[in-house]
Structure 1
Amino acid sequence: MKNIVKIIIATVGIALMFAACQKEGDLPLYKAGKGSVELTSSATTVAAVMVDADKPVLTLNWSWPNYATDSVNQKFIVQIAPAGTNFEKPVTRTLKGVQSTSFTAKELNTIVFGFGTVSGPSPLDVRLISSYANNNEQYQSNTVNVVVTPYIVPVTLALNPTGPLTLTFENAASNAVTFNWNATAFGNLPLNYAIQIDKAGGDFKTPVVKAFGTALTGGITGTDLNRAAISAGIAPNTTGDLAIRVIAGQGDKFANPVYSNVATLKVTTYLDVVKFWVVGAYNGWDNSDKALTLLNTPSTGANAEGYVNFDAAGDFKLVTNHSWDDAHTFGDDGTNTGKLSNVGGGKNIPVPAAGYYLIKANPLTMTYTLTPTIWGIIGDATKGLWNDQTNMTYNPTSMTFNLAAHMTAGAFKFRGTSDWGVNYGSTAGNATLDAGGSNIPVTVESDYAITLDLSHPTAYTYSANRWGLIGSATPDAWNSDQNMTWDAANKVFTITLDLIVGEYKFRANDAWDINLGGDLTALTQNGGNLAVTAAGNYTITLDPWTLKATIKKN
């Protein structure tokens, strides 16, 4: 029995052995790679044009490296770099199983601009790296040189509206024209855009420029367009053509600029700056630049204004130049109802009494107003709160109003008329004033030297300063101020304190923005330190308006 089982097992084993050795056909034979790859180019120079942006303009072909694998497992990396850089930072394109690739004009543009080319021929080195898909057995091709001259996308400017435009004071603050343009590209730096405005036929050597950063649209107000037109040579109240174009360039200085088409815009300008000289009895009828003026601002349109101190009743006229001719001389129309006339130069405008007057005049509506003012401060920071005004004193030499006042934490405003028709605050929160502006905050209770300056038409300013001493001679050296108080009897700020040998200065508001030193009889901003040569108890005074000080040892 055992012999029979052994025979069966042996028979099965032999059968299996023959089955395993049975031939199923020849296996595929892969040839070894030939160890190189050759690259060719369809062109050695490419001068791209925008109409070919999406068309192939350069084709690269290469030979098979004959790797021992299917073509789909063969990888090819095209490298492109500026000529002579040894492919240090190449642009690459990776492909598999192909023997060619093409580049459109737009793609070549992007490549050469990425290398920093702005315009003109750009020599490039091109080569191919072949390998298995896993990067093994890399072959490097020969290098092909191709010179590419990129195209630049032209900038096209469009205006909305296209004109003609009649510019007016009434629409001065509104947008007059919107500019729209397309993007361009060149080089490898961000591009900025700006509008340039010149008179038609001009050469744009000294254009008015309005920058818009990287935006592709922007607007211009009536005021700015009017001023640009006048600057370009179109006289006020006349019609002329403007030449407008876009400049695109690299950085804030618009390096390597590209310009758009030139659009023409016909505009009618207006007299943007209204300036009257006030000539009358107050200045001896001196019709010169020494006379006080009225001015307008873009926000006030043709309404010009300014302040004049009349030391007695009298009269005056308004002039726009110093010729006294009728066209430039304005007076009352004879009705004393606030109407201007330049017929025969008009009648003298009467000033009923001495005082500080706000004068407004409009050459378009031919009207004027004359408003007497009494200036002071009012607010919950003042002693009169919001009920009673604390009046200021006019200084004809400095042409400012001055006041020393104790103020508490709160706010105040400057008021010129009791009906609040003329008042100023500081919306900007700095030293500038605007009509009806925001309340001016007071955060530190102290005695303040307050100055109101209305002598510069439409550019009114103020200051409110508390004063102190600081220096090595004072109790806290240069660390903190010793506060001064107002001496109403002698009209000076004063302090009595012990000083040691050393130095000191006067300082406003515990800060160095305003500090006085130098000569006690003529203090100056940032002047030299003042000396104390002997220790003792001293009384020191300061007049911050005349910039004079005294020091007396007690």
Structure 2
Amino acid sequence: MKKIQKIHILIAVMTLGLFAISCENDETKFTAIETNPIALSELPITSIELDPSNPANAAVTFNWNEANYNQQASENYSIQLSSDSEFTNPIIATSVVGTTSATLSVNELNSSAGSAGLPPFTFSPIYAKVVSSIGTQNGLPVSSNIISFEVQPYFNYVFKDYYLVGNGTSADWNNNNNNPPLFRDSENNNFYTYTGFFTKGGGGFDDGRFKILEVRGQWQPQWGTSTPEGSDDIIEAGEIAGNPTTQDSDPGRFGVASDGYYTFTINFSSNTYTMTSYDDSGSTSLSSVTLQGDALNGDTAMTQSSFDSHLWYVNSVNLQPGDLQFTNNTGVSWAGSTSFSGVATEGGGNIPVVVQDDYEVWFNDLTGDYIMIPLNL
């Protein structure tokens, strides 16, 4: 009986060994390969007028064929929209996994069209494509063909506004003290600039400092230098940090070494800033600046900042769709060609107001920078 048991055991061990070898030999390896471009179907309609009274209704459905990455994992698909066929600044309208269609609601398409740069209340072409990929890291991305259609968005204020706070500025360390806004670049919505007077105050290490707020009256989100407070020496350029965007703790402080005029820039794409001296010695001192144009119900005088004589503002003025100019006490008119923000030049035409609302308006007579912030949209 003992010999029989030993034989049975030996057979069992050999069988397990053969099974293990068989499993190793039968192991299948899958290698992802780049898929052929998927085909995005043309839409059955050529133009879409968006109705703000029904924001949850379906506006458009995109359909395409399935990508093939030679993998059993589900594919990722991102719907990209752009105001130009080259997709210079594309935005992702929505993303789905494992399905070959996606529907955007009226509100979603309106928001996407606004983010892509389409003006409100007018039909404009918009371009769409689907980018397929695989895995959690969106590997092997492949773009589909491009289709286009026209869409008329209703108004969508997609911009962010930022405000100065700190003892180097007129607001001091008060987060709700008519804090001056930064001026947004009309072509790059992530680039902001501010040219104006900054003070060093008492002259100490903690004087002449400032940070950037996203909302007046709230300390977060706030932006500053990537160096923590206490070791945040004043330097002319560097990286920025934000609470809570990049970290949980508050960032360091920007600053100036002495009283004077400076140009501060901040780029939220590269997370960098610069702070350089500005020569205002040849500037003209104005005694008044007035808002004029058919967007107004009568001329409106702007208030001159008591901290910086080149900075003018109106805290609230009702504007209708139409045109706007800045006129100074010498009779010279300044205007630009872009709504909400831009650079006005002497005899520069008219600033377009595209939607009715109460606006906060700021103008810098040193640089021509202007910004119009809607208060209710």
Structure 2 length normalisation: TM-score?
0.38
Higher-Rg structure is 1
Structure 1 length normalisation: TM-score?
0.27
